[in-house]
Amino acid sequence: MAKARIVFLNQQEMDLIHVQSIKCLEEIGLKIHSKPVLEILEKNGARVDYQTMVAKIPEKMVNQALESAPKEFTLCGRDPKHDLKVPTPKFPWVTTNGLAVYVKDYNTGEYRDSTRKDIAAFTKLADALDSVDYQWTALTARDVPPLAHGPHELWVTMQNTTKHVQGVTAQSAEDAKVQIELAALIAGGKEKLRKRPLFSVVVCPIAPLTFEKGSIEAQVELAKAGIPVVSMSMSVGGLSAPVTVAGMMVNANTENLGSIVISQMAAPGAPHIYCSESAPMDMRTGNINYDSIEMCFLSFGLAQMAKRYNLPSYVASLGGFSGVVSSINQFLGVMGGSDLAGGLGAIDIAKGVSFEQLLIDAYMWDCCKNYLHEVEISEEKIALEAMREVGHGHNFLTHPHTLRYFREELKFWDEEKVNLLETDDKEKAAEANKIVKSIMAKHQVEPLSKDIIEKGDAIISKYEDIVGD
């Protein structure tokens, strides 16, 4: 099947990135602020300096980890119709923005700190949109104890969608255990959750080459429970990684390989997703330059590296389609072959979310997907016999071949969505707000049972007593 794809690295360049990443792991190593995790690595062959908390990982361990990591698995939804197999054969599965700290209220237009109520509402809208394949925990619960916000966000999100949920924080091993316990309530037990993981978790290394105690110990607990881990490297060129594309790529690749080694040494066969949201620093402002050309290059190259390792990938971002440059960059980014992508509904460099922006981004993604569909190149589709039958100077309009294939072969724009996207910004926002309000008034999410909700609330309440305010 023919498919529009961007190939960035040749084989020699991929080999060099891999070799340099192995050299980085063996000679520079990873700084891991956790004695238990260092002990796991040492037991499996790493050279560990407990004084500096640096583990140097030999190539043999990397190969062992890549061998045991599953090549494909399913991100399961509460409703099986939303199950997502990765890698995906067509276009990436897409999700919302994650863990923003403020929301634009769709009723008042006010920008304010986000709460559990906002998480529920935003999740409900995303649940209603077919373009949103799975759900990130989109907002930070600013109305709960800071050390308990992760379980709160997961629990509220899982109550308001039947799609797969990807959490964006796990602050400690205990935090991870609570999240596992909450999801197990819905799944029907921990073993059923292992077979059908209803949630996954993004765990970020700290560039360059560092893993925090809480998050890496959480990752180990998640891996042991069979919960997919997304190892999101956020290598910022010129700040926490070399300024060059090649340097950023090797840093992100090294952190991903290191993260996979940790998961596989702790729990062989644990599902793992190769991930990067790396970009250069904007040298004028100090912000992460998500609109940079280099971020596209990183998406292309790292998608190829993930495929080299036979790992599912999340190396492309979408959302906030508010300008020409960002729209071009984000659309091009997904053409590298990432299996997952996120960011729908983001505003202000992902610090906030907007209900209207979520709708607009979802509509835009629906249009973009037309460019990623597969095209069959075969003798039947080439239709030489039809050409022979029609002959010179005639037309194909009434030929059976045209009638047989035009619906499946030709992609048609959704006029309602295109009309919204082509209006001016002020009118677009107002019309999007009307559609959002209509969806929110009509859409119903299948609720969890009262008994399960009460048990989950009790688990969180108990955890709050432990971690305090």
The CATH number assigned to the domain holding 313 equals 3.20.20.480
So what's the pLDDT on residue 321?
58
Q: Do 230 and 148 have their domain in common?
A: yes
353 with 100: CB under 8 angstroms?
yes
359 with 432: CB under 8 angstroms?
yes
Q: Do 80 and 189 have their domain in common?
A: yes
Helix segments in 206-317, DSSP class H: 213-224, 245-266, 293-308
So what's the pLDDT on residue 196?
99
Residue 119 domain-assigned?
Answer: yes
Q: Do 388 and 337 have their domain in common?
A: no
Q: Do 330 and 384 have their domain in common?
A: no
Walking along the chain (469 residues) 10 residues at a time, the average pLDDT comes out as 92 99 99 99 99 99 99 98 95 95 98 98 99 98 96 99 97 98 99 99 98 99 99 98 98 99 99 98 92 94 98 90 73 92 92 96 92 94 97 96 95 91 92 98 98 98 92
So what's the pLDDT on residue 320?
65
Burial 94-133, CB ≥16 within 10 A → b, else e: bbbbbbbebbbebeeeeeeebbbebbbbbbbbbbbbebbb
Residues of the domain holding 402: 379-409
Q: Do 116 and 209 have their domain in common?
A: yes
Q: Do 361 and 390 have their domain in common?
A: no
What six digits make up the tokens of 364? 């835009």
Residue 427 domain-assigned?
Answer: no
Q: Do 307 and 333 have their domain in common?
A: yes
So what's the pLDDT on residue 297?
96
Residue 22 domain-assigned?
Answer: no
Residue 332 domain-assigned?
Answer: yes
Q: Which residues contact 42 (CB under 8 A, 6 or more apart)?
A: 48, 55
Q: Do 239 and 383 have their domain in common?
A: no
Give the largest Cα separation in the chain, rounded: 82
Q: Do 288 and 390 have their domain in common?
A: no
Report the distance separating Cα 227 and Cα 221, nearest Å.
9
Amino acid (1-letter code) at residue 161: T
Residue 280 domain-assigned?
Answer: yes
Which string of DSSP letters, residue by residue, matches 167-218? E----SHHHHHHHHHHHHHHHTSHHHHHHS--EEEEE--BTTTEE-HHHHHH
CB atoms within 10 A of CB 264: 22
Q: Do 248 and 288 have their domain in common?
A: yes
Residue 260 domain-assigned?
Answer: yes
Whole-structure pTM over 0.85, yes or no? Answer: yes
How many structural domains is the chain composed of?
2
Q: Do 389 and 260 have their domain in common?
A: no
| CA distances to 267, 289, 323, 365, 411 from 414, in Å | 46, 32, 21, 12, 10
pLDDT in tens, 116-140: 999 999 999 999 999 999 999 999 9
CA angle 75, 80, 85 (to 5 degrees): 35
